[in-house]
């Protein structure tokens, strides 16, 4: 029998640092000053300018990704930005659940984001409040991924199937990273907890059909192959990049 030991969340969430950059979550106020809450990013856009991070954080981020990756369409950049943020959210939730046995409250009003930061996305939590692990679906999927998907679909016409495919891929990726860390550090119980929680999360209809059960390959494509120099991701649904459709004369 394995004895599972849980500890309370520490005020700085310092234990997450050991898991790698996608799992890190800072607490308090960033040294450079307040950042917009993610709730603002999911809401209706305010007056948009090319330079104002705070007026419309989501549009700013998609534009930044478009420019930095030379994406031929903003829809492609929106998908890449979405997958990066989904990976951060799942990683924080699963990492905390696996290490602490508790979940930090990631309410979109408490979780602040720097859309001008580098990847992985820079996130700060204004107040550390513990929740039970069973709240992971409500906190991440319902609290963040549902309104984020709605905003990106509305603004950039990214298909819901693609976005939930991104979310499923990001969830599986977080589990793989936790499992690698657990085996490398002789903490197999951490990997067990992560897999158990992910299994419950994948049972929701939004996520249940996103990956092939045996191979965990996606059933949709994130469009990364359409970037200049881009290729196929390791879990892509394609075996080779699709050819562009011929133009009609």
**pLDDT of 84:** 95
Say if 236 falls within a structural domain: no
Say if 5 falls within a structural domain: no
Q: Is residue 26 within a helix (H) or strand (E), and if so which, with residue range?
A: strand 26-27
Say if 237 falls within a structural domain: no
Say if 201 falls within a structural domain: yes
pLDDT tens sequence for the chain (249 residues) = 233 445 578 888 999 999 999 999 999 888 777 889 999 999 877 655 555 666 799 999 999 999 999 999 999 999 999 999 999 999 999 999 999 999 999 999 999 999 998 767 689 999 999 999 999 999 999 999 999 999 999 999 999 999 999 999 999 999 999 999 999 999 999 999 999 999 999 999 999 999 998 898 999 999 989 999 888 898 888 888 887 655 454
With a CB cutoff of 8 Å and minimum separation 6, the contacts of 241 are 225, 231, 232
Cis bond before residue 24 (omega within 30° of 0): no
Say if 232 falls within a structural domain: no
Identify which of 96, 234, 48 has the alpha carbon closest to the alpha carbon of residue 111: 96
Q: Which three-class secondary structure state does DSSP give residue 210?
A: coil
Say if 4 falls within a structural domain: no
Structural domain count, the chain: 1
169 vs 139: CA distance, rounded Å: 18
- What are the beta bridge partners of residue 131? 103
**pLDDT of 5:** 45
Q: What is the extent of the structural domain holding 144?
A: 14-224
Please give the backbone phi and psi of residue 168, each rounded to the nearest 5 degrees, phi first. -65, -45
59 vs 77: CA distance, rounded Å: 10
Identify which of 60, 95, 71, 96 has the alpha carbon closest to the alpha carbon of residue 178: 95
**pLDDT of 2:** 35
Find out whether 141 and 149 touch, Cβ atoms under 8 Å.
no
With a CB cutoff of 8 Å and minimum separation 6, the contacts of 99 are 15, 16, 19, 190
**pLDDT of 4:** 43
Say if 247 falls within a structural domain: no
With a CB cutoff of 8 Å and minimum separation 6, the contacts of 78 are 62, 65, 152, 155, 156, 158
Q: Is the dihedral of CA 38, 41, 47, 51 positive or negative?
A: positive
Say if 49 falls within a structural domain: yes
């Amino acid at each position: 029998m394995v004895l599972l030991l849980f500890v309370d969340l520490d005020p700085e969430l310092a234990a997450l640092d050991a898991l790698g950059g996608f799992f890190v979550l800072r607490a308090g106020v960033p040294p450079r000053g307040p950042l917009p809450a993610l709730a603002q990013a999911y809401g209706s856009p305010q007056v948009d300018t090319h330079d104002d991070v705070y007026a419309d954080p989501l549009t700013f981020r998609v534009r930044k990704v478009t420019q930095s990756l030379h994406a031929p369409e903003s829809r492609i950049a929106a998908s890449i930005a979405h997958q990066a943020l989904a990976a951060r959210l799942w990683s924080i939730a699963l990492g905390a659940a696996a290490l602490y046995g508790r979940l930090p409250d990631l309410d979109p009003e408490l979780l602040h984001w720097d859309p001008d930061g580098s990847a992985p996305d820079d996130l700060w939590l204004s107040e550390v409040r513990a929740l039970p692990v069973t709240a992971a679906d409500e906190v991440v999927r319902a609290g963040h991924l549902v309104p984020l998907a709605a905003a990106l679909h509305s603004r950039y016409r990214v298909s819901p199937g693609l976005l939930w495919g991104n979310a499923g891929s990001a969830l599986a990726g977080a589990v793989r990273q936790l499992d690698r860390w657990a085996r490398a550090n002789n903490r197999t119980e951490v990997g067990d907890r992560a897999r158990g929680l992910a299994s419950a999360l994948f049972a929701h209809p939004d996520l249940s059909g996103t990956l092939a059960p045996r191979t965990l390959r996606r059933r949709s494509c994130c469009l990364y192959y359409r970037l200049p120099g881009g290729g196929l991701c390791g879990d892509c649904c394609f075996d080779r990049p699709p050819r562009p459709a011929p133009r009609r004369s």
